[in-house]
DNA sequence: CAGTGAGCGAGCTTCCGCTTGACTT
């Protein structure tokens, strides 16, 4: 017999709790949800009042049976799943599936994994909250209905295997809309004027006071006029204003803010952040990493305080409690923090060390004093013009939390570092050193990174901490969105410089528009988005989730009956699905761009069977149309007639090498050189339209030497058998199959006999 | 691994939110 069986969601949590509770308690985990809707026929009896059909997935059966056996032998079963909608539902599914008896079952919750919190929870047991469970059932059923009715519609109207859903479709919409904003964006040019003034530094030397003109000029003429006035003007200090400024630390990490900061400071993808955090959590170094709470336990606040006072002194400490601002936060856990605040660093892989350090610093800083700065603003009058120059500087009076941590921003605008300003007095006349008017361009809207998309989704209340990373993977796996780098362009900017008595004009080449690891919509993503927008406006509305969440809340407090709410949503929704099935055309994103000057046939672009293509002529023509695939980075929406005509210039023959033709073309994996029926990829910097034979031969030779390095060894008597160097180290390749080489052997010393032996044994087999 | 773009039809794809493994040759 077992006295007490406690069931939590996570095995790492189970281990910790078992330690706190002692021998009278057996602690197990459910590994999240144990049941889900059946996949066949929606898994919902729509006509019978939306009755869900739950099943235990195959990979959970063994675990559920084990729990069931343990539960039978237990006097009391404590359901200690998370205190939120999903956690309550997991408790209920456990109750149902394990066949628990009400008198022997207790529902308990805790928000932090500390001994006191757990002991406290045991004293405050309650029953399962059926209303809250119903709110979860409504959420689950709604998501299934939306996902499993919209996706098949897309298979019919766009392309097989596509998907749509309450969360992913809105995430794609954000990216599509951003791209369109950028396409429509009209940059404005303007002139920014800066002045350098020489000031005695009080030690016999001179120092420079940098200031910016409060006005920007729209064009070169007005900027030049102003500089001409400056030529003969005096510059006098008009006003000096000093004021104290305080900076406060950011709240401790949630999943979303951790993903953002790890992206900005460490360059991690959201997936990478989560898997590294998972490792830290499993080894007991940090608290749970999927959370929307900024709350810290009393224990953490206490140990942080000790740590701060000891390391930096009393004046650096300020205890704070943060409250969450994010929509729909359920706060079932603590913020993400180190388990032990007195450990500034940990052992382990570099990525774990770095992420841990980030978490430690952020948590510590959140309990530290504000930084105190003194901000100084100096205004300078120009005798010949009404405009004024303004110089501003900041001096750190007390560093406070900045001693350990400073939050980064997504803003890419270069902020000039402003330090201490030189000592000047009101009415002092300044020596003009140099005045510059530099042409600038208003910045285009910033494309999303993975992390900034998560931030936006959190703001809209779309998705949960456990789904941000998987959703971002889904939209990329479906090829709605691609993450990539894109080359920018170069533009000419005019600069005017007034130095001494002369004004010089110069043209500067400025790079712009370079994008690194940004999210771009694909043609399919755009077409699916437009199709959904045209037919399901309500689901694509950014407020859809927020408004259904309100209804789930009403179910959770018992005001609304859940099948009624679902019925209200489903009836009009299903009608729209039916209408779209019958009336909408297949969406191919077709655009007609013009006529082929040679044949007079129409030139168009659309989505073909294998992706975006350009086409000359129509399928109904006597002669078959000519086709060419679009290149990477080109899109149906923005490609021009000129660019399409270029596509038909491939494949090109550029010459001969070793008596065989060299052919340039573009395939599924980008531009390539073909020679002796072998393929060689072009580099990013090579242009398939202009590349000549010399460069093509160079590419062929480069690839050949590379292949030699890949080949470790081969045998004349058995040409099919190769010892190669691959992604996971050396291996044997034989008749299209690969075999692992035992670690104890040096690959270059293997004989043919030994290789055959390894093949015979089948290498190391995959374990099942 | 790279060229394709006819047509038919069977069988399959898909959601969100909880959780961890698996593991490449």
Range in A190-204, A272-286, A520-534 with the lowest mean pLDDT: A190-204
Residue A708 has pLDDT above 90, yes or no: no
CA of A634 to C1' of B2 (A): 19
Give the nucleotide nearest to A30 (CA→C1').
B19
- Name the band, by pLDDT with cuts 50, 70 and 90, for residue A764: very low
A164-183 residues near strand B (Cβ < 7 Å): 164-169
In the residue annotation, A288 being an active-site residue is answered as yes
For the segment A240-266, the average pLDDT, to the nearest whole number, is: 97
- Alpha-carbon distance of A99 to A87, in angstroms, equals 18
Residue A197 has pLDDT above 70, yes or no: yes
- Name the band, by pLDDT with cuts 50, 70 and 90, for residue A412: low
- Locate A651 and state its tokens: 């494949």
Q: Is the CB of A549 under 7 A from strand B?
A: no
CA of A435 to C1' of B15 (A): 61
pLDDT at A767: 35
Contact A90, A107 (CB under 8 A): no
pLDDT at A124: 96
Give the nucleotide nearest to A672 (CA→C1').
B2
pLDDT at A413: 55
Q: Is the CB of A766 under 7 A from strand B?
A: yes
Question: Nearest protein residue to B18's C1' (by CA)?
Answer: A32
CA-CA-CA-CA torsion sign (A607, A612, A614, A619) = negative
- Locate A691 and state its tokens: 């590349």
Residue A456 has pLDDT above 70, yes or no: yes
Contact A517, A449 (CB under 8 A): yes
Q: Is the CB of A610 under 7 A from strand B?
A: yes
Range in A44-48, A77-81, A333-337, A715-719 with the lowest mean pLDDT: A715-719
To the nearest 10°, the Cα dihedral for A176, A180, A182, A183?
140
pLDDT at A768: 30
CA of A110 to C1' of B3 (A): 62
Range in A116-125, A401-410, A473-482, A717-726 with the lowest mean pLDDT: A717-726
CA of A161 to C1' of B11 (A): 13
For the segment A515-522, the average pLDDT, to the nearest whole number, is: 96
- Counting every residue written for chain A, the total comes to 768
Q: Is the CB of A155 under 7 A from strand B?
A: yes
B strand bases under 7 Å from protein CB = 1-7, 11-21, 23-25
Give the nucleotide nearest to A87 (CA→C1').
B18
Question: Nearest protein residue to B3's C1' (by CA)?
Answer: A667
pLDDT at A679: 87
A81-120 residues near strand B (Cβ < 7 Å): 82, 84-86, 90
- Name the band, by pLDDT with cuts 50, 70 and 90, for residue A158: very high
Q: Is the CB of A672 under 7 A from strand B?
A: yes
Q: Is the CB of A147 under 7 A from strand B?
A: yes
pLDDT at A723: 79
Q: Is the CB of A492 under 7 A from strand B?
A: no
For the segment A535-542, the average pLDDT, to the nearest whole number, is: 98
DSSP structure class, residue A406? -
More confident residue, A754 or A567: A567
A732-761 residues near strand B (Cβ < 7 Å): 738-740
Q: Report helix, strand or coil for A489.
A: strand
CA of A32 to C1' of B20 (A): 9
A7-66 residues near strand B (Cβ < 7 Å): 9-13, 29, 31-33, 36-37, 39
pLDDT at A51: 97
CA of A658 to C1' of B13 (A): 48
CA of A764 to C1' of B25 (A): 9
Contact A233, A304 (CB under 8 A): no
CA of A481 to C1' of B11 (A): 28
- Alpha-carbon distance of A691 to A653, in angstroms, equals 10
CA of A416 to C1' of B8 (A): 66
Range in A46-60, A348-362, A654-668 with the lowest mean pLDDT: A654-668
CA of A582 to C1' of B8 (A): 22
Q: Is the CB of A292 under 7 A from strand B?
A: no
Q: Is the CB of A514 under 7 A from strand B?
A: no
Q: Is the CB of A330 under 7 A from strand B?
A: yes
- Name the band, by pLDDT with cuts 50, 70 and 90, for residue A444: very high
Q: Is the CB of A676 under 7 A from strand B?
A: no
**pTM of the shown model:** 0.91
For the segment A74-84, the average pLDDT, to the nearest whole number, is: 97
CA of A40 to C1' of B10 (A): 18
Q: What is the DSSP string of A295-310?
A: ---HHHHHHHHHHHHH
> What mean pLDDT is reported for chain A?
92
Q: Is the CB of A152 under 7 A from strand B?
A: yes
Q: Is the CB of A401 under 7 A from strand B?
A: no
Backbone angles phi, psi at A216, to 5 degrees: -110, 145
- Locate A34 and state its tokens: 């144990």
Q: Report helix, strand or coil for A400.
A: helix
Residue A763 has pLDDT above 70, yes or no: no
Question: Nearest protein residue to B16's C1' (by CA)?
Answer: A143
Gyration radius (Cα) of chain A, Å = 33
Find out whether the peptide bond into A625 is cis, omega within 30 degrees of 0. Answer: no
- Alpha-carbon distance of A432 to A498, in angstroms, equals 10
Contact A571, A583 (CB under 8 A): no
CA of A741 to C1' of B24 (A): 14
Residue A416 has pLDDT above 70, yes or no: no
- Locate A508 and state its tokens: 């500067």
Q: Is the CB of A629 under 7 A from strand B?
A: yes
Range in A241-255, A324-338, A520-534 with the lowest mean pLDDT: A324-338
Contact A287, A335 (CB under 8 A): yes
pLDDT at A419: 81
Range in A85-94, A450-459, A733-742 with the lowest mean pLDDT: A733-742
- Name the band, by pLDDT with cuts 50, 70 and 90, for residue A766: very low
Buried b / exposed e across A230-269, counting CB within 10 Å, b at 16+? beebebebeebeeeeeebebbbbbbbbbbbbbbbbbeebb
The structure tokens 């043609």 sit at A523
- Name the band, by pLDDT with cuts 50, 70 and 90, for residue A411: confident
Is residue A348 classed exposed, middle or buried when 0-12, 13-18 and 19+ CB atoms within 10 A define those classes? Answer: middle
List the Cα angle A459/A277/A132 in 5-degree steps.
50
Q: Is the CB of A627 under 7 A from strand B?
A: yes
pLDDT at A765: 41
Q: Is the CB of A129 under 7 A from strand B?
A: no
Tens-place pLDDT, residues A346-387: 999 999 999 999 999 999 999 999 999 999 999 999 999 999
Residue A709 has pLDDT above 90, yes or no: no
- Alpha-carbon distance of A176 to A680, in angstroms, equals 34
For the segment A285-301, the average pLDDT, to the nearest whole number, is: 96
Beta strands in A62-159 (DSSP E): 74-79, 105-107
Tens-place pLDDT, residues A668-700: 777 889 988 888 888 878 888 888 989 999 988
Give the nucleotide nearest to A39 (CA→C1').
B14
Q: Is the CB of A547 under 7 A from strand B?
A: no
pLDDT at A689: 86
Range in A133-137, A390-394, A585-589 with the lowest mean pLDDT: A585-589
Q: Which one of A25, A54, A281, A288 is the catalytic residue?
A: A288
pLDDT at A415: 53
Residues 6+ apart with CB under 8 A from A1: A73, A74, A75
Backbone angles phi, psi at A29, to 5 degrees: -125, 155
- Locate A687 and state its tokens: 């242009």
Q: Give the whole-number percent of chain A exceeding pLDDT 70.
A: 97
- Alpha-carbon distance of A417 to A683, in angstroms, equals 38
Give the nucleotide nearest to A292 (CA→C1').
B17
Instruction: Name the nearest CA neighbour of A662 among A632, A685, A682, A644.
Output: A682
Q: Is the CB of A474 under 7 A from strand B?
A: yes
Tens-place pLDDT, residues A302-340: 999 999 999 999 999 999 999 987 777 888 899 999 999
More confident residue, A669 or A510: A510
Residue A55 has pLDDT above 80, yes or no: yes
């Amino acid at each position: 017999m077992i006295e007490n069986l406690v069931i939590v969601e996570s095995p790492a949590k189970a281990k910790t709790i078992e330690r706190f509770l002692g021998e009278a308690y057996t602690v197990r985990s459910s590994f999240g949800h144990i049941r889900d809707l059946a996949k066949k026929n929606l898994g919902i009896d729509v006509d019978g009042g939306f009755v869900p059909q739950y099943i235990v997935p195959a990979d959970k059966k063994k675990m559920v049976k084990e729990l069931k056996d343990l539960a039978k032998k237990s006097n009391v079963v404590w359901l200690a799943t998370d205190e939120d909608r999903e956690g309550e539902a997991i408790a209920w599914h456990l109750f149902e599936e394990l066949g628990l008896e009400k008198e022997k079952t207790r529902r308990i919750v805790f928000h932090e994994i500390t001994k006191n919190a757990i002991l406290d929870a045991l004293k405050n047991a309650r029953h399962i909250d059926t209303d809250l469970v119903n709110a979860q059932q409504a959420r689950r059923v709604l998501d299934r209905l939306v996902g499993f009715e919209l996706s098949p519609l897309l298979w019919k109207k766009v392309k097989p295997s596509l998907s749509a859903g309450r969360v992913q479709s809105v995430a794609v919409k954000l990216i599509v809309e951003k791209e369109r904003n950028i396409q429509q964006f009209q940059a404005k040019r303007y002139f920014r004027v800066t002045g350098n003034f020489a000031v005695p530094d009080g030690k016999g030397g001179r120092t420079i006071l940098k200031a910016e003109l409060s006005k920007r000029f729209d064009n070169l003429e007005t900027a030049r006029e102003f500089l001409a006035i400056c030529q003969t003007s005096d510059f006098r200090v008009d006003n000096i204003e000093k004021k104290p400024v305080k900076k406060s630390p950011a709240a401790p990490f949630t999943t979303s803010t951790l993903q953002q900061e790890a992206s900005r400071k460490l360059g991690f993808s959201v997936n990478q952040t989560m898997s590294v955090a998972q490792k830290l959590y499993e080894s007991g170094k940090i608290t749970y990493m999927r959370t929307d709470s900024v709350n810290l336990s009393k224990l953490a606040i206490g140990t942080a305080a000790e740590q701060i006072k000891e390391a930096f002194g009393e004046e650096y400490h300020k205890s704070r409690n943060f409250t969450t601002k994010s929509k729909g936060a359920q706060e079932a856990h603590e913020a993400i923090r180190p388990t032990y605040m007195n450990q500034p660093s940990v052992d382990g892989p570099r990525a774990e060390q770095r992420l841990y350090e980030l978490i430690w610093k952020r948590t510590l800083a959140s309990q530290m004093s504000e930084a105190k700065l003194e901000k100084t603003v100096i205004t300078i009058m120009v005798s010949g013009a009404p405009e004024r120059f303004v110089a501003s500087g900041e001096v750190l009076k007390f560093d406070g939390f900045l001693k350990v941590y400073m939050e980064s921003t997504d803003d890419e605008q270069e902020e000039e570092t402003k330090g201490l300003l030189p000592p000047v007095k009101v009415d002092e006349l300044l020596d003009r050193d140099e005045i510059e008017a530099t042409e600038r361009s208003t910045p285009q809207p910033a494309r999303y990174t993975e992390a900034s998309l998560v931030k936006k989704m959190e703001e809209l209340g779309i998705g949960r901490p456990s789904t941000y990373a998987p959703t971002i993977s889904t939209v990329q796996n479906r090829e709605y969105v691609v993450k990539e780098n894109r080359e920018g362009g170069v533009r000419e900017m005019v600069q005017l410089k007034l130095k001494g008595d002369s004004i010089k004009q110069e043209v500067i080449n400025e790079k712009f528009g370079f994008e690194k690891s940004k999210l771009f919509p694909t043609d399919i993503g755009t077409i699916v988005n437009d199709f959904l927008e045209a037919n399901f406006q309500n689901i694509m509305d950014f407020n859809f989730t927020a408004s259904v969440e309100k209804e789930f809340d009403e179910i959770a407090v018992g005001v609304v009956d859940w099948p009624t709410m679902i019925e209200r949503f489903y009836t009009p929704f299903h009608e729209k699905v039916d209408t779209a099935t019958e009336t909408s055309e297949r969406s191919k994103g077709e655009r007609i761009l013009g006529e082929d000057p040679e044949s007079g046939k129409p030139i168009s672009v659309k989505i073909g069977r294998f992706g975006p293509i350009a086409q000359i002529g129509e399928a109904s023509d006597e002669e078959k149309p000519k086709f060419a695939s679009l290149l990477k980075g080109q899109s149906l929406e923005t490609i021009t007639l000129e660019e399409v005509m270029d596509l038909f210039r491939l494949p090109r023959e550029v010459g001969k090498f070793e008596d065989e033709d060299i052919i340039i073309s573009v395939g599924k994996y980008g531009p390539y050189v073909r020679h002796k029926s072998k393929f060689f990829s072009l580099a990013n910097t090579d242009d398939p339209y202009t590349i000549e034979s010399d460069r093509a031969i160079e590419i062929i030779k480069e690839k050949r030497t590379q292949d030699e390095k890949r080949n470790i060894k081969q045998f004349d008597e058995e040409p099919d058998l190769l010892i190669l160097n691959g992604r996971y180290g050396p291996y044997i390749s034989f008749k299209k199959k690969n075999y692992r080489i035992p670690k104890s052997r040096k690959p270059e010393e293997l004989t043919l006999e030994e290789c055959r032996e390894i093949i015979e044994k089948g290498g190391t087999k995959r374990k099942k």
